[in-house]
Copies of this chain bind each other. A is one copy, B any other.
Amino acid sequence: MSSALPVIILVEPQLAENVGMAARAMMNCGLSELRLVNPRENHVGDKAVAASSNAEEILYQARLYASTEEAVADLNFTLATTARHRDQTKSVLSAEYAANKMFSLGETGSRCGVLFGPERTGLTNHDICLADGIINIPLNPKHCSLNLSQAVLLIGYEIFKTRITQAEETLVTNHSVPAERGKVLKFCEYIESLMADCGNFKSDERRDKLIINLRNIFMRNALTEQELNTLYGVINHLNRR
């Protein structure tokens, strides 16, 4: 059971479509527990289900509450999403930090939740004062209005990132294998020999420069064996002509 994952709480969502899209965003981010406080429209109707795009399971399992107070009652830590800083004394957490904090809390058995307000008005001050803090999603301050499902997506994305380790950059080579440096060098030497035959090296200095340039081009390229064969094919074809 994924009880350590944060719960998404939509307070008085207006449109069923937005609830469905929020469920889709949750599914994208591996979240599963949705709570709804007084949704205006049917959250398991056709509109919501269609918008959820195969995440209807989250809609069917969503729990309904009559108030925000009841929706957060069994949680240990909740954060409110709001674009404006209200006139409240409140911790404001970056989305990334909030996700990490909820991850740590979840690891030690605390249940966390994130509150999202109605589309038009956002969370009320009475909702916000129930939360441990406010999540600030960093966005262009001149144009920071997000729709509900986009806000859920960005928070969910940060939560998902806390749970994975991801390489910064990986070369995917599929069926081929990275060529050994000796094979790349041999290829460079092959071109160098062809160039020498053509009488292209007018001076030792120019020759040396070309060799270094060519080797730099191909050495930094992380060529695979298959790609080396492709290059040999091209060079041989040109050489035969």
- Which A residues form the contact surface with B (CB < 8 A)? 25, 27-30, 53-55, 85, 87-94, 96-97, 133-134, 136-140, 143-146, 150, 153-154, 157, 160-161, 164, 166-176, 222, 224, 226-227
Q: Does A89 lie within 8 Å of B172, measured CB to CB? A: yes
What is the CB-to-nearest-CB distance from A149 to chain B, in angstroms, rounded to a whole number? 8
A168 to B78, CA, bound (A): 16
Please indicate the chain B residues that have their CB under 8 angstroms from the CB of A154 in the complex: 153-154, 157
Q: Does B138 lie within 8 Å of A166, measured CB to CB? A: yes
A169 in complex: contacting residue of B27, B92, B139, CB < 8 Å: B92
A97 to B169, CA, bound (A): 7
A69 to B134, CA, bound (A): 45
Closest 6 interchain pairs by CB?
Answer: A97-B168, A30-B140, A27-B143, A94-B166, A93-B169, A92-B170
Q: Does A89 lie within 8 Å of B171, measured CB to CB? A: yes
Q: Does A85 lie within 8 Å of B172, measured CB to CB? A: yes
Please indicate the chain B residues that have their CB under 8 angstroms from the CB of A166 in the complex: 94, 136, 138
Please indicate the chain B residues that have their CB under 8 angstroms from the CB of A88 in the complex: 172, 174
A227 in complex: contacting residue of B53, B89, B97, B173, CB < 8 Å: B89
Once A85-B172, A89-B171, A169-B133 are accepted as A-B contacts, the answer to whether A160 and B143 lie under 8 Å apart by CB is no
Smallest CB gap from A174: residue in B: B87
Smallest CB gap from A54: residue in B: B143
What is the CB-to-nearest-CB distance from A218 to chain B, in angstroms, rounded to a whole number? 14
Please indicate the chain B residues that have their CB under 8 angstroms from the CB of A27 in the complex: 140, 143
Q: Does B139 lie within 8 Å of A224, measured CB to CB? A: no
Q: Does A138 lie within 8 Å of B160, measured CB to CB? A: yes
Once A29-B140, A143-B27 are accepted as A-B contacts, the answer to whether A91 and B169 lie under 8 Å apart by CB is yes
Please indicate the chain B residues that have their CB under 8 angstroms from the CB of A170 in the complex: 91-92
Please indicate the chain B residues that have their CB under 8 angstroms from the CB of A28 in the complex: 139-140, 143-146, 150
Q: Does B143 lie within 8 Å of A175, measured CB to CB? A: no
Smallest CB gap from A90: residue in B: B172
A174 to B224, CA, bound (A): 59
Please indicate the chain B residues that have their CB under 8 angstroms from the CB of A93 in the complex: 168-169
